[in-house]
Amino acid sequence: MRKASALTRFVASGIAVTALLGGYGQAPAATTDSGAPSPVQAAAAGAYQAGRGDPIGLPAGSVYSNPASGRDEVVVPDMRHTALLIGDSQSEPTDGWPRLGLAAVGYKVHFCGLGGTGFVASNGKTGNYIDALQRGDWKLPYGTPALIVIQGGGNDAARGATDAQIVANADRLIAALKDRYPGARMAMIGTLARGANYGGGRRTQVDALLGTVAARHGLPFVGVGDWLSKYSLTKNLADAVHMDAAGRRSLGGLLETRLRQLGLEGPALDGTVPATASALTPAD
């Protein structure tokens, strides 16, 4: 990794992330893993614009009825440089750490999902990941993303979802995404937690379980089930499971490094090299 002062890397991160994240994704809002959705969240499923004709000419956010797939899809600009991120409230804010990490390795980000959901968990308004997709609570984008990332598991851990339920729905979601985007690169990010010996509990167990799912499907996996303790980030918890702004930046930097290790960098944007999100570098 290139050497640079922490201050230089931090400033570069702010510029890169602001440029890459603005205007993409669906309804970033509250940072809670559970509870009723905010008004912004509740409106997300109906926030799309109706659109007809050539999808290339439609404004961003328009819904295109794709005759090839028979599905309604949302128009997103520059899909060649866009990562499709499916996740929960860890990913939902525009400065959520999964978004920061993806932006730092060269992606624009389009988010699908809402806080309080997971592979099995729903939030009372929106279904779990696969049910929300199938019933149209949120719509996948038209065109093929540069990368598809599935993040989550925290709400499943909190609400007592069994291993069998999580695995079955994860398998269904992966199969649906592979069917929708044949040949697209795909990866998974697990469940943020303390380590098993530091109170990680069920969250750490779900993180490990998702790692086995990813391995079985041949997908790169970023296990984060011990990151809070491994990198001394519990001091940056804003509540029991969410990070403050500094913690999100630190996690974004850690994720950036792991994505680079996995060879998941995005296509160059305007010929530039993405700036790093943080001076922190995780140990192997």
Share of the chain above pLDDT 90, in %: 68
Predicted confidence band at 270 (pLDDT cuts at 50, 70, 90)? low
Tens-digit pLDDT profile for residues 94-115? 999 999 999 999 999 999 999 9
* Whole-number pLDDT of residue 86: 98
Region of residue 28 (left: phi > 0; alpha: psi -120 to 50; beta: else): beta
In angstroms, the CA 236 to CA 23 distance is 27
Tens-digit pLDDT profile for residues 208-226? 999 999 999 999 999 999 9
CB atoms within 10 A of CB 105: 23
Report, in this order, helix, strand and coil percent for the chain, each rounded to 5: 40, 15, 50
Contact criterion met (CB below 8 Å) for 212 and 171: no
Contact criterion met (CB below 8 Å) for 154 and 114: no
Predicted confidence band at 231 (pLDDT cuts at 50, 70, 90)? very high
